[in-house]
Chain A
């Protein structure tokens, strides 16, 4: 007889209308989730019902939604905008969108139409918010209480920045940072440095960086930073500046608040400061996406995704006894590169009762998820396997 899993969506999805639910593994559900109704107008094209709405500009993909597909379809990708998305009116003709390149020998502007004349490249990347996993910290944290849904696996198409810089005569002088500036309009009466989206990354990131204009084979939706977005593979989402209008090479980091004091990692109780580490490269991480709550007894499939951050994965292991024993799971599909995640699956026989199911990924250089993740004040970068575990009840 063939094995099969009877998938009852109501049992697997976390999120019930109007309820604030915290499971024993601490996965909160937004009280604003009304069964997915009421997507904001600018993302009405996304799949209603697939998101937890934290605010108009922050929509978290529900944990069970991503399934086993290699890439997250655009209409399931989470939304997190620091400033409201630019509108079609503000952008104008996308083909005429201009990106200024500065700090190179022969700087200038390049339009999207001109970018397309270059041979394109593609890169598969995890797109993940710095705050993904914030909900798992015990201390009070400012910001959206994401659990695992501020992450997606996306294929970007665009032109490598290194190639453009080469054609423009190379970086002028000794520079240490590559800085990207977003094109959002800042209203009068606000000091632009307070709210503008401008992020600097170490200049080494130029080697893999891309000016992207397609997301999973379609023009980048405005909600995700089209027409052109800076993509830094392996770096946290904030560094992938949306609606990029300027790229420069500099000696020092941007003076924008979002660079100087935001996205800085420090001990609980401390304020952000420029001498603290910035949220740059992502870490090894994995989480189970199925089953999440309860299941019929017998042989069941556990699904999830695993990522190496900036390098290939060696393996992902699963435990159904809270971490006492581990078994290696199978990857589904090919390795899409060091910056992408990989779906995994393991079939297990679970008897009746509640089982704590955890996943733990390891990279080729031996980096592995810790059991517990050391807290930082703003709740960034959680990759501890114990906090990400789920309780599965088998009847």
Chain B
């Protein structure tokens, strides 16, 4: 197995890994905002039910997130398990994506 070379080569390797990580879908806020507005993987868009100014959505079915102001823990739980008629997103989203969405929404409504 090749060992990473010290110095510049190691730096390049580190950069390479970071780029690869993003390309492989360690999702960030851009991904989250897109999913919030569009949904996907057989699950509805968050914005279809939830109003949130940061995503420019106006859904009326569920609570207005700017008013509810859920924290990260509450968001992760809701995405993982659902709440009442809000479905679980555990089939549609990975753990990393759930975390990214929770981070995105929590910051957007602070």
Size class of the contact patch on chain A: 20 to 34
Q: Quick check: B77 and A271 within 8 Å, CB to CB?
A: no
> Which segment of A140-148, A309-317, A347-355 sits at the interface?
A140-148
As a 0/1 sequence over residues 34 to 55 of chain B, the CB contacts with chain A under 8 angstroms (1 = contact) are 0000000000110011000000
Q: Which of B44, B64, B80, B84 contacts A191 (CB 8 A)?
A: B44
Q: Quick check: B84 and A262 within 8 Å, CB to CB?
A: yes
Return 6 A-B CB contacts under 8 Å, by A number: A55-B63, A56-B64, A143-B77, A190-B48, A197-B85, A257-B85
Residues of A228-249 at the interface with B, using a CB-CB cut-off of 8 Å, are: 238
> In the assembly, what is the distance between CA of A37 and CA of B59, in Å?
25
Q: Quick check: A262 and B44 within 8 Å, CB to CB?
A: no
**Is A84 at the interface (CB under 8 A from chain B)?**
yes
**Is A224 at the interface (CB under 8 A from chain B)?**
no
A contact face: mostly helix, strand, loop, or mixed: loop
Q: Which of B48, B77, B81 contacts A189 (CB 8 A)?
A: B48
Q: Which of A83, A142, A272 contacts B77 (CB 8 A)?
A: A142
Q: Quick check: B63 and A142 within 8 Å, CB to CB?
A: no
Task: Beyond A83-B61, A143-B84, A271-B81, list 14 extra A-B contacts (CB 8 Å).
Answer: A56-B68, A84-B60, A142-B80, A143-B81, A143-B83, A189-B48, A191-B44, A195-B49, A195-B86, A197-B85, A238-B84, A257-B87, A262-B82, A262-B84
Number of interface residues of B (CB under 8 A): 25
Residues of A177-220 at the interface with B, using a CB-CB cut-off of 8 Å, are: 186-187, 189-191, 194-197
As a 0/1 sequence over residues 73 to 99 of chain B, the CB contacts with chain A under 8 angstroms (1 = contact) are 110011011111111101000000000
> In the assembly, what is the distance between CA of A191 and CA of B44, in Å?
8
Q: Quick check: A84 and B61 within 8 Å, CB to CB?
A: yes
**Is B67 at the interface (CB under 8 A from chain A)?**
yes
Q: Quick check: A82 and B88 within 8 Å, CB to CB?
A: no
| Among all A-B residue pairs, the 3 with the closest Cβ atoms | A142-B77, A142-B81, A82-B84
Q: Which of A57, A189, A272 contacts B63 (CB 8 A)?
A: A57
User: Which residues of the partner chain A approach B86 to less than 8 Å between Cβ atoms?
Assistant: 195
As a 0/1 sequence over residues 255 to 279 of chain A, the CB contacts with chain B under 8 angstroms (1 = contact) are 0011001100000000110000000
Please indicate which of the listed interface residues A143, A186, A238, A378 has the most CB atoms of chain B within 10 Å of its own CB: A143
Q: Quick check: B63 and A377 within 8 Å, CB to CB?
A: no
Q: Quick check: B85 and A82 within 8 Å, CB to CB?
A: yes
> In the assembly, what is the distance between CA of A258 and CA of B85, in Å?
6
Residues of A81-116 at the interface with B, using a CB-CB cut-off of 8 Å, are: 82-84
Please indicate which of the listed interface residues B44, B60, B87 has the most CB atoms of chain A within 10 Å of its own CB: B87
User: Which residues of the partner chain B approach A56 to less than 8 Å between Cβ atoms?
Assistant: 63-64, 67-68
User: Which residues of the partner chain B approach A196 to less than 8 Å between Cβ atoms?
Assistant: 85
User: Which residues of the partner chain A approach B81 to less than 8 Å between Cβ atoms?
Assistant: 142-143, 271-272, 377-378
User: Which residues of the partner chain A approach B60 to less than 8 Å between Cβ atoms?
Assistant: 84, 187
User: Which residues of the partner chain B approach A257 to less than 8 Å between Cβ atoms?
Assistant: 82, 85, 87
Q: Quick check: B67 and A271 within 8 Å, CB to CB?
A: no
> In the assembly, what is the distance between CA of A257 and CA of B74, in Å?
21
User: Which residues of the partner chain B approach A186 to less than 8 Å between Cβ atoms?
Assistant: 61
Q: A57-B63, A189-B45 are in contact. Are A261 and B85 (CB under 8 A)?
A: no
Q: Quick check: A194 and B63 within 8 Å, CB to CB?
A: no
User: Which residues of the partner chain A approach B85 to less than 8 Å between Cβ atoms?
Assistant: 82-83, 194-197, 257-258, 262
